């Protein structure tokens, strides 16, 4: 929705482990989910992100990774698009939940304005379990800097989860707790950042996104409002079983989508999630929001 603004180039999840190495958008390969980058370990990542923020597409790296005519055509089109955006002086919009733990590094080194979206723990767990996404907690344990700087309070629980895979709901709840512990810490340390709740955006998308556009210095227009209404209005379905990434998963009646977790989860599961995340969730959600 932010990329609907004029003069913004959307950059999709450069921290993803799923993408192959040799990428034009950000030419660095990540081996672990939620990689934690700081000044102390930035050497493998700095140049690639400097180019990304400057909208310098690495055409050579992308061409090396192209394995078909379609891929070759995509690389050439993407390269031309990035060059045009750079000439116009467009702003990069790096959307990447996997970059959360590296937010301070990104803000400090590249003068990024960080926007953090907070989501209700039950909604998060509901989505994760519905999609069947598991998280390898060993990826946290393999990052000593992260465990020391951010996740020390969870060392025992993460260690247990790394040794023996928890039940699905418990695993997703622990992941929410770890992530939002970091978010709470960022909110205290960085009042200059923007923190928004997914539920607030969903219940009043036009008003909330207009406020967000103003905070970020983005140009609000009737075209932007039309796009937001198209993707969040009541004419859309409130839920979907479509594959992730399809257009149908993006177009939702957002105000109805907020409470989907109440239909998907049993009362026992909700109680279990609430008990698991209570120490962190109270910083973001009241008792009435359960």
pLDDT tens readout for residues 108-167: 999 999 999 999 999 999 999 988 989 999 999 999 999 999 999 999 999 999 998 889
Q: What is the mean pLDDT of the segment spanning 92-98?
A: 95
Asked whether the CA dihedral 256, 258, 261, 267 is positive or negative, the reply is negative
**At residue 173, does pLDDT exceed 80?**
yes
Name the least confident of 37-46, 249-258, 273-282: 249-258
In this structure, are residues 150 and 177 in contact, taking their beta carbons and an 8 Å threshold?
Answer: no
- How high does pLDDT run on average in the chain? 92
DSSP per-residue letters across 221-259:
-HHHHHHHHHHHSTTS-S---PPTTSHHHH---HHHHTT
**The model's pTM:** 0.91
Q: Which residues contact 130 (CB under 8 A, 6 or more apart)?
A: 264
If one looks up domain 113-289 in CATH, what number appears? 3.40.50
pLDDT at 241: 62
In this structure, are residues 276 and 170 in contact, taking their beta carbons and an 8 Å threshold?
Answer: yes
Ranges in the chain annotated CATH 3.40.50:
113-289
């Amino acid at each position: 929705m932010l990329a609907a603004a004029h003069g913004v180039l959307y950059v999709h999840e450069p921290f993803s482990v799923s993408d192959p190495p040799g990428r034009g958008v950000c030419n660095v390969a990540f081996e672990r989910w939620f990689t934690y980058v700081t000044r102390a370990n930035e050497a493998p990542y700095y140049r690639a992100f400097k180019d990304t923020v400057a909208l310098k597409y690495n055409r050579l790296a992308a061409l090396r990774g192209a394995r078909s005519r379609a891929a070759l055509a995509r690389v050439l089109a993407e390269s031309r698009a990035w060059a045009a955006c750079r000439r116009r002086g467009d702003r990069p919009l790096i959307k990447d939940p996997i970059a959360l733990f590296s937010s301070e590094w990104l803000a400090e080194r590249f003068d990024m304005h960080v926007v953090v979206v907070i989501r209700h723990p039950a909604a998060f767990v509901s989505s994760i379990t519905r999609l069947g996404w598991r998280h390898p907690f060993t990826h946290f344990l393999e990052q000593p800097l992260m465990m020391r700087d951010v996740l020390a309070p969870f060392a025992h629980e993460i260690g247990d989860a790394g040794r023996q895979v928890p039940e699905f709901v418990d695993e997703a709840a622990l992941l929410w707790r770890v992530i939002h512990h970091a978010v709470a810490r960022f909110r205290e340390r960085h009042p200059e950042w923007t923190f928004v709740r997914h539920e607030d955006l969903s219940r009043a998308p036009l008003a909330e996104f207009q406020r967000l556009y103003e905070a970020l210095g983005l140009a609000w227009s009737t075209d932007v409002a039309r796009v937001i209404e198209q993707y969040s209005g009541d004419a859309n379905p409130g839920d979907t079983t479509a594959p992730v990434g399809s257009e149908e998963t993006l177009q939702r009646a957002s105000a109805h989508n907020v409470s989907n977790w109440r239909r998907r989860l049993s009362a026992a599961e909700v109680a279990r999630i609430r008990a698991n995340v209570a120490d962190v969730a109270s910083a973001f959600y009241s008792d009435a929001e359960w």
